[in-house]
A and B are shown apart, each in its own frame.
Chain A
């Protein structure tokens, strides 16, 4: 019985324990759900026995969060302002080497917008030839030391348009939970470089100038002294720089210098003037001096630059030049006088010569005229004489002679009518001759002349005239048979240039020379005359008999003036 009782009791105990555990489980589960629903008002800390109000804590937490948020926003804003407002270009590069931040300075420096450049590798901004450069490569790698990159070296950045820009970069590591970032600050030093170059140029100009160039602060102390100043005044730079400049100013020029410096101090320009300065050896030197104010950044005058040029030589040169100019002017005046009087003399001579020439011309005309008249008179006498002679042969002789005299007379007529009294125009002369001959002979013929522009001196024209006279006379007397109609008779007279010679041709279409005909052996008066006259003009006569008689005289053309 008691065993059963024990069992029952044991069973009850178990059942109660089980029930209690189930209750505890249910309570625990309910508690968890209540906590999850936020139905807790306070939690008491066992150690301090102080209840903590959950709502208050939450409130404080939320307030704390808001504050933190605000602080974060403010911090970000401050960062942005600093980043964007920086006077240098700022670039943040992540551990992978990509640009994660770039400010507006970077935009203007490299020509990319922030949108374009953020996300790119840093190499985008580095010229190709530098990309393998260890300073660049390691520079943006995770290097824990902040430092300037390429110090004392010329670094270049690559702009979007491909051009390069002189830059200087310093790097600062920024360690974050995401790894080591690098903040690079980039300075555009193009302007500085240009300024450096300009500065070097100025220094070179001053250094190599032959003018003395020095600067003098307002208290009178020499601040710079170039080699030009040393060679002009004898003092070395170390003797002058830091000391007063007064010893180069002679006593009597101190006042003048003070006035100039007062002008400079007042910011006014001092025009270059000529004065005197004292050399180290005590001698004086004439100089042209220019003072210019040197201003600081605030436009205040802090010093004077003084440029001096030795004008001893130029003064001497100037005096010499003035003397030379004077001398030259005197010489000029003298020369002009001489030219004037000489011109007067010459024009007088010229006038005299002109009148002499006119006299000579009229004299020559007169001579030719008289010769012609005389010859005409002889011709008339011969004609009168001939008429009284009964013997036909003798009369023919007289008439022939008359023809000769007449042709010479015509030549003189042509001569005194021609502009050039020494030469006769052959066209004109032959025309006259032909006209006269036609009048003399009954036998009619058509005479054609073909004469080049030829002017011959009298000593050639006379024989030519006589040859023509002879041949035409001959033709008119003998060439044409009486039965022929005079209209068919034709005589050609040609004078033409052939190379350096002249060729005189007289040809007719008459019966020709009696054959057999050998002019060389024929001793008639006419042919003898023609051969002799041809010889006079240093020519040769040739005769032909095809289709009438033909005579050709070829002789050298006179050297000069034949064309005029």
Chain B
């Protein structure tokens, strides 16, 4: 667990400009990272409207899409990331009420 906690989360969120689901997804991700993985996450946000090639290269055809590259295994979550419990599970984080 400690190892896990020390592992840096390398995340990339593909969004479509400021389309509504994309905006919500950014907000949800930001709040989860700040609350449960503060300082341990490397989050890159890619706007596929500006850089479509990036998405294609990563095999991302539908946005908004969150891809967890590290730690392995790679996981992908589609949508506005409203299901917090599922998101924590995918990211391997615990709810830390007393931060």
Contacts and interface: CB of A to CB of B under 8 A. Distances in A.
B83 interface: yes
B61 A43 contact: yes
A39 B73 contact: no
B77 A42 contact: no
A55 B63 contact: no
B61 A39 contact: no
Contacts of B64: 39-41
Given A42-B48, A53-B19, A37 B75 contact: no
A135 B75 CA distance: 75
Contacts of B76: 27, 31
A466 B67 CA distance: 182
Contacts of A35: 62, 78-79
B78 A51 contact: no
Interface of B is mostly: mixed
A502 B75 CA distance: 168
Contacts of A524: none
A20 interface: yes
A41 B52 contact: no
A44 interface: yes
A40 B56 contact: no
A436 to B, nearest CB: 167
Contact of A51 (B20, B48, B80): B48
Q: Name the interface size band of chain B.
A: 20 to 34
Given A30-B86, A51-B52, A51-B63, A41 B78 contact: no
Contact of A41 (B19, B53, B90): B19
Given A42-B49, A42-B62, A44-B52, A51 B79 contact: no
B63 A42 contact: yes
Interface residues of A, number: 26
Nearest to A38: B21
Contacts of B82: 39
Nearest to A48: B52
B79 A49 contact: no
Contacts of A33: 79
Given A41-B20, A42-B48, A49-B53, A27 B75 contact: yes
B37 interface: no
A34 interface: yes
Contact of B63 (A37, A40, A46): A40
Contacts of A236: none
Contacts of A120: none
Nearest to A49: B52
B20 A55 contact: yes
A428 interface: no
Contacts of B79: 30-31, 33-35, 37, 39-40
Interface string A6-44: 000000000010011001001100110111011111111
Given A44-B52, A44-B55, A31 B16 contact: no
Interface in A29-85: 30-31, 33-35, 37-44, 46, 49-51, 53-55
A51 B16 contact: yes
Contacts of B90: 26-27
Given A41-B15, A44-B56, A50-B52, A20 B73 contact: yes
A461 to B, nearest CB: 159
Given A39-B21, A42-B62, A34 B52 contact: no
A37 B22 CA distance: 14
Contact of B77 (A30, A40, A43): A30
B25 to A, nearest CB: 8
A50 B51 CA distance: 10
A26 B83 CA distance: 13
A41 B22 contact: yes
A39 B55 contact: no
A42 B19 contact: yes
Nearest to A22: B73
Given A39-B64, A46-B61, A51 B77 contact: no
A73 B29 CA distance: 47
Contacts of B52: 44, 49-51
Given A41-B22, A42-B16, A19 B78 contact: no
A26 to B, nearest CB: 8
Interface in A313-330: none
B45 to A, nearest CB: 13
Contact of B21 (A41, A49, A50, A51): A41
Contacts of A49: 52-53, 56
A26 B87 CA distance: 11
Contacts of B19: 41-42, 53-55
Nearest to B82: A39
A6 B55 CA distance: 39
A38 B20 CA distance: 11
Nearest to B83: A30
A17 to B, nearest CB: 10
B78 to A, nearest CB: 4
Given A51-B48, A53-B19, A39 B75 contact: no
Interface string B9-40: 00000011101111001000000000000000
A42 B17 CA distance: 9
17 contacts: A23-B73, A27-B77, A31-B76, A31-B79, A34-B80, A39-B64, A40-B78, A41-B15, A41-B16, A41-B20, A41-B64, A42-B19, A44-B56, A44-B62, A49-B56, A51-B63, A53-B17
By Cβ-Cβ distance, the 10 closest A-B pairs, closest first, are A34-B79, A39-B79, A42-B16, A41-B19, A31-B78, A41-B16, A34-B78, A41-B21, A39-B80, A42-B63
Given A31-B76, A41-B16, A43-B63, 12 more contacts: A20-B73, A23-B73, A26-B90, A30-B77, A30-B78, A30-B86, A35-B62, A37-B79, A41-B19, A41-B20, A51-B48, A54-B19
